[in-house]
Chains A and B, each alone.
Chain A
Amino acid sequence: MSAPPIVTAPAPSLGRDLVALTKPRIISLLLVTTAAPMYAAGEPSIWTVLLVMLGGYLMAGGANAINMYLDRDIDDIMARTRLRPIPAGRMTPQQVLAFGVACAAAATWILAFFVNVLAAGLALAGFYFYVFIYTRWLKRSSPQNIVIGGAAGAFPPLVGWAAVTGSLDIVAITLFLIVFYWTPPHFWALALMKQVDYGRAGVPMAPLVWGERETMYQMLWYTVILLWLTVLPWWVGAFGLLYLASAIILGALLLGGIIKMLLAARAGRPWSGPAWWVYKYSLLYLALLFVAMAVDRTLAR
């Protein structure tokens, strides 16, 4: 009888840990919400887009690394964060803090020197918002943590817009609010499924404070507002029919998913399947919505 094949996890390395500190999977969506507004706002050179992507990645990556430094006490408690570099003992907290600060400093320099000061200032504001308002202040003290903290994730469209136009207008502010109102339904879908983890870590996510049913209703209310915010750029004449159709179809699917979850909960049926669907689909929703903006404007030129 032959010996069973030995399956090993990838060996930890400093390079892999540094990339993990930046939370690349989360940043990929931030980069979509940065790049798409650039093409919606104008016709940027590929050089400008690449520099903004690099600066945006480093700024968000720096914020994520400092988040891991500040949350090192609870990362060891939650199952889904236990293998991060600090709780796993592969990096010291000081190393992680230094890496985060270095990333943010490099990002500020790249954006200010090669793009413009407004884009750099907005990216830095998003960094400070995430580190101090969300992670340091609200995350462990309020069920509004991801609502207000969601503003940090809403800065990338402003950065992209400012990088191309050098200013902000009503469309840029609407894009900010689209991401802001998208954040609660997205993160509360995850929070509904990870309640015990969050409770153990002392993070007062909405389901723990308001209960599951109220959280689902709140997801519905935020989505209703989100849907009109996504139509508003068309209403003011900034985007065309392609974008409008995309916003309506994508938004109807999101709303349908949330209603399905809510109806399942009300009927006493299992709702974790629909909640998981809402969590995964909301990621795709935001990416496709922003791509639709860029395509709509590019085709219209």
Chain B
Amino acid sequence: MLMSVAVSDTLFRVAVALCAVAQLFILKAVFSPGPLPMGGPAEAGRAAGRLRPASRPLEMAWVVLPAVGLVFLFLWAWQLKHSAELASDADPVAVAFAEAAR
């Protein structure tokens, strides 16, 4: 589908902003967890269980790691898309030289 650069960039920015909000809520569950609700199957499960407390710094590391991966992926995608657009706008001879130099 042909899409102008401006529309494509706006779509990317809006989507990444939504992902950032979602990722913040994911981080919040680990960094500042709310009180556990009482009653229901969760409490029955906890009562039946022998759950071991997890190391908090490690929990934080586990939740940050995928977020860092996402940031790198989005930067990579942005850079790839824009380098492709620059190449298509450039002088064909210069593009041929750039291809040969890779």
Give complex CA distance A174, B23 in Å. Answer: 17
B86 part of interface (Cβ distance < 8 Å): no
A114 part of interface (Cβ distance < 8 Å): no
Q: Given A147-B66, A222-B22, is A196 in contact with B48 using a C-beta cutoff of 8 Å?
A: yes
Give complex CA distance A229, B69 in Å. Answer: 12
> CB-CB contacts of A197-234 with B at 8 A, as 1s and 0s?
11111101001111111100110111011001101100
A121 part of interface (Cβ distance < 8 Å): no
Q: A144 and B1: CB pair below 8 A?
A: no
Q: A224 and B22: CB pair below 8 A?
A: yes
- A-B contacts counted at CB < 8 A amount to 131
Q: B37 and A212: CB pair below 8 A?
A: yes
Q: A200 and B42: CB pair below 8 A?
A: no
Q: B51 and A228: CB pair below 8 A?
A: no
Give complex CA distance A233, B80 in Å. Answer: 12
Q: B29 and A170: CB pair below 8 A?
A: no
Contacts of B48 in A (CB 8 A): 196, 199-200
Give complex CA distance A178, B15 in Å. Answer: 15
A: number of interface residues (CB 8 Å) = 48
B73 in complex: contacting residue of A143, A170, A224, A241, CB < 8 Å: A170
- Name the distance in Å between B83's Cβ and chain A's nearest Cβ: 11
Q: A225 and B70: CB pair below 8 A?
A: yes
> CB-CB contacts of B38-79 with A at 8 A, as 1s and 0s?
001110111111111011001100110110011001001100
Q: A199 and B46: CB pair below 8 A?
A: yes
- Name the distance in Å between B91's Cβ and chain A's nearest Cβ: 21
Give complex CA distance A199, B36 in Å. Answer: 15
Give complex CA distance A218, B66 in Å. Answer: 14
Which single residue of chain B is at the shortest CB-CB distance from A197? B45
Contacts of A244 in B (CB 8 A): 1
Q: A202 and B76: CB pair below 8 A?
A: no
Contacts of B65 in A (CB 8 A): 148
A10 part of interface (Cβ distance < 8 Å): no
Q: B29 and A210: CB pair below 8 A?
A: yes
> CB-CB contacts of A116-148 with B at 8 A, as 1s and 0s?
000000000000000000000010111110011
Give complex CA distance A148, B63 in Å. Answer: 8
A221 in complex: contacting residue of B22, B50, B62, B69, CB < 8 Å: B22
Q: Given A147-B62, A208-B42, A221-B22, is A173 in contact with B52 using a C-beta cutoff of 8 Å?
A: no
- Name the distance in Å between A240's Cβ and chain B's nearest Cβ: 8
Contacts of B23 in A (CB 8 A): 221, 225
Q: B70 and A196: CB pair below 8 A?
A: no
- Name the distance in Å between A220's Cβ and chain B's nearest Cβ: 8
- Name the distance in Å between A143's Cβ and chain B's nearest Cβ: 7
Contacts of B42 in A (CB 8 A): 195, 199, 207-208, 211-212
Q: List 14 A-B contacts (CB under 8 A).
A: A142-B54, A142-B62, A144-B30, A148-B62, A201-B49, A202-B49, A208-B45, A212-B37, A212-B41, A218-B25, A221-B22, A221-B26, A225-B22, A235-B81
Q: Sorted from nearest, which 8 A-B pairs have the closest CB atoms? A: A199-B45, A199-B49, A195-B45, A221-B22, A224-B22, A144-B62, A200-B48, A195-B41
Besides the contacts A141-B54, A147-B62, A195-B42, what 11 more A-B pairs have beta carbons closer than 8 Å? Answer: A141-B55, A142-B54, A144-B54, A147-B66, A199-B46, A200-B45, A200-B48, A208-B49, A214-B33, A240-B1, A244-B1
